[in-house]
Amino acid sequence: MIKITIVGITGYSGFELFRLFLKHEKAQVVKVCATSHIGEPLHHIYPQIKECSEIMISSFDPSIIMQKSDVVFFATPAGVTNSLAIPFIEHDFPVIDLSGDFRLKNPRSYEKWYKKPSAQQEHLEKADYVLADVNTTAHQLISNPGCFATACLLPLIPLVKGDFIELDSIILDAKSGLSGAGKVLSESSHFVNVHDNMMMYKINQHQHLPEIVQELKKWNGKVEFIQFSTSLIPVNYGIFVSGYVKLKSGFSFDEVQQDVKDFYKDKKFVRIRSEAPKLSDVVGTNFCDIYLTYNQTTGIITIISVIDNLIKGAAGQAIQNFNHLFDIKEEMGLSHLARI
């Protein structure tokens, strides 16, 4: 069994990792850390696991983690991993980071978009951004993609790779359920503000905007910008992206659609759908469901992409990356059915 430590266990993605690992045949969570509830059994906070785990919440101690486990997952807020991960990076100990701390390669860009001090350049160079269905890594420091970025990149990558679309026409309108905001309550996340309501936030200022551009550039160096907006919708889980891009003249939509299908034909967790997917098709699973359709009159391709923010957008993708890193069957621990 591969021994796992999860830092950030009292948060949404940390516990989702724990929950998914309970069904993993080759891994066992041996240590869980947070800054609160130290010394308490985890089932005090999550009674649903009382019958299957007696694990206790510990404080964070890198040398004990390296002694007791084979890999550490960080499910901590932005600005935490860039210092907590240093001892692991220095020992070349495997780290999978769910936060944004190692995603942006340019430290100035991180400081601009996250409004926090960046990780050190030498550590950023040791990190690989790994979108599990399309990137591989030779490094021990895996930067897991952002939830919105995952849902936007998966449909767009084959489109920009094939140079099928006008690159200055990319418009992405992404909507997230409230668990995307994490467990800490803010004024905007009060039930009364969210329930029966919808709001757009961080307009043109969302930290996943530079992440999406950085990654699209790897597939087509001519991508310069995107138009990206994010909204909060009154559901617990799920990200729904509506995207609009202009098809380049000289290409037929049918050949573009075929190319996207071919790009993902061997990928278990990306499904190209023939009808518009709903959030409920993927919530509770590690799937990203994608649908493309074309308007002959305007020349615009509409993209729909849906994921579960805590699974494909965080913990599930992190386990997919873990499975790749340890050469385990990709779907191990991830064969869940949709929740609804």
Ligand X SMILES: CC(=O)N[C@@H](CCC(=O)OP(=O)(O)O)C(=O)O
Q: Which residues are near ligand NDP by CB under 6 A?
A: 7-14, 33-36, 60, 75-78, 80, 98-100, 146-147, 179-180, 182-184, 309-310, 313-314
Q: Which range in 53-61, 157-165, 173-181, 245-253 contacts ligand X by CB under 6 A?
A: 173-181
Question: In one letter, which amino acid is 271?
Answer: R
Candidate residues 232, 318, 319, 328; the one interacting with ligand X per rule CB under 6 A: 232
Which of ligand NDP, ligand X, none does residue 87 bind (CB under 5 to 8 Å by kind)? none
Residue 34 CA to residue 36 CA, distance in Å, equals: 6
Cβ pair 177, 340 in contact under 8 A? no
In this chain, which residue has its C-beta nearest to ligand NDP? 11
Q: Find residue 292's DSSP bridge partners.
A: 303
* Binding-site partner at residue 230 among ligand NDP, ligand X, none, CB < 5 to 8 Å by type: ligand X
Facing residues of 303 across strands?
Answer: 243, 292
From the list ligand X, ligand NDP, none, pick the one residue 305 interacts with, judged by a Cβ distance below 5 to 8 Å according to partner type.
none
What tokens does 181 get?
Answer: 């905001």
Contact call for residues 305 and 152 (beta carbons, < 8 A): yes
Indicate the helix (H) or strand (E) that contains 107.
helix 107-114
Interface pattern 32-71 for ligand X (x via CB under 6 A): ----------------------------------------
Residue 151 engages ligand X in binding (rule: CB under 6 A): no
- Interface with ligand X, residue 78, by CB under 6 A: yes
- Cα–Cα distance for residue pair 296/247, rounded to 1 Å: 10
Of 45-53, 163-171, 175-183, 254-262, which part binds ligand X (CB under 6 A)?
175-183
The item of ligand NDP, ligand X, none sharing an interface with residue 5, based on CB under 5 to 8 Å by kind, is none
C-alpha–C-alpha distance, residues 230 and 174, integer Å: 5
The Cβ of residue 322 has, within 10 Å, a number of other Cβ atoms equal to: 26
Please confirm, yes or no, whether 147 is among the known catalytic residues.
yes
The rounded distance, in Å, linking the Cα atoms of 16 and 89 is 24
Binding ligand X (rule: CB under 6 A), the pick from 76, 118, 150, 207 is 207
Q: How many residues bind ligand X (CB under 6 A)?
A: 12
Q: What is the dihedral of CA 320, 289, 300, 130, to 10 degrees?
A: 0
Chain positions contacting ligand X, by CB under 6 A:
78, 99-100, 146-147, 176, 180-181, 207-208, 230, 232
Query: Catalytic residues, which ones?
Result: 147
